[in-house]
Amino acid sequence: MKIIMLGAPGAGKGTQAKQIAAKYEIPHISTGDIFRANIKEGTALGMEAKSYMDKGQLVPDELTVKILLDRVSKDDCKNGYVLDGFPRTIPQADVLDKAVSELNDKIDYAINVDVKDDNIIRRMSGRRACLNCGATYHIVNVPPKKEGICDTCGSELVIRDDDKEETVKARLLAYHEQTQPLIDYYNNKGILKEVDGTKDMNDVFADIVNILG
């Protein structure tokens, strides 16, 4: 099964994608996580991506598409994957479409996790991230067992550099201009599914499982 998660930054794509990956035994692929891992390791790719991410802008398509195509060509993607944060532009979606068609395959579902902007700003200010294992928490909605420490791997939790309020506003602008058009794109392909991302995260997941079967 090949699944794309759509939605504004902070809508809960990652939270849901991790659960989908566990239940359906497919890899969870987050381009944001790949960039953050590269930033942590100090690679050239990471340094370039950071210059855009810190401003709340999208990383250029050329760079992003390359890392995504590399990742989905790995063996563990043979039975599918759940993409979180890719595609974010129409050209990215076209490249993915072409790559999948060349394998005589298709994307099964594009799930749009719908959350309005005011709600997003509240969520992002409480998000805490583990840069070691990729786990995500929220200081009110999903607190870790021990404050500031990842339940899964014991690393220290951080506020992402791009979760500052001003950067979140820039990210929302980029979302509306460049990513939101993908909702129509996948609707026209007949694979768009909408879920209400403002519900409790377990209820959002139950709605997704209803769709995926």
Task: Cite the active site residues.
Answer: 13, 88, 127, 160, 171
The correct pick among 141, 155, 180, 187 for binding ligand ADP (CB under 6 A) is: 141
With binding defined as CB under 6 A, does residue 193 bind ligand ADP? no
Q: Is 114 helix (H, G, I), strand (E, B) or coil?
A: strand
Cα radius of gyration rounded to whole Å, the chain:
16
Mention every residue, 6+ apart, whose C-beta is less than 8 A from residue 204: 12, 16, 113, 195, 196, 197
**Total residues binding ligand ADP (CB under 6 A):** 22
Question: What number of helices (H) and strands (E) belong to the chain?
Answer: 9, 7
Name which of ligand ADP, ligand AMP, none residue 175 binds, using a CB cut-off of 5 to 8 Å depending on partner kind. none
Q: Which of 38, 89, 136, 178 binds ligand ADP (CB under 6 A)?
A: 136
How far CA 126 is from CA of 134, 139, 165, in Å, comes to: 16, 5, 11
One of 13, 28, 88, 171 touching ligand ADP (CB under 6 A): 13
The answer to whether the beta carbons of residues 26 and 36 sit under 8 Å apart is no
The distance of closest approach from Cβ of residue 138 to ligand ADP in the complex, given in angstroms and rounded to an integer, is 3
89 near ligand ADP, judged by CB under 6 A: no
The token duo for 150 is: 């990842």
Helices 90-102 and 181-188 meet at what angle, rounded to 10?
30
Residue 12: which of ligand ADP, ligand AMP, none does it interact with, CB under 5 to 8 A by kind? ligand ADP
Q: Does 36 bind ligand ADP (CB under 6 A)?
A: no
* Contacts with ligand ADP, residue ranges (CB under 6 A): 7, 9-15, 84, 123, 126-127, 136-138, 141-142, 197, 199-201, 204
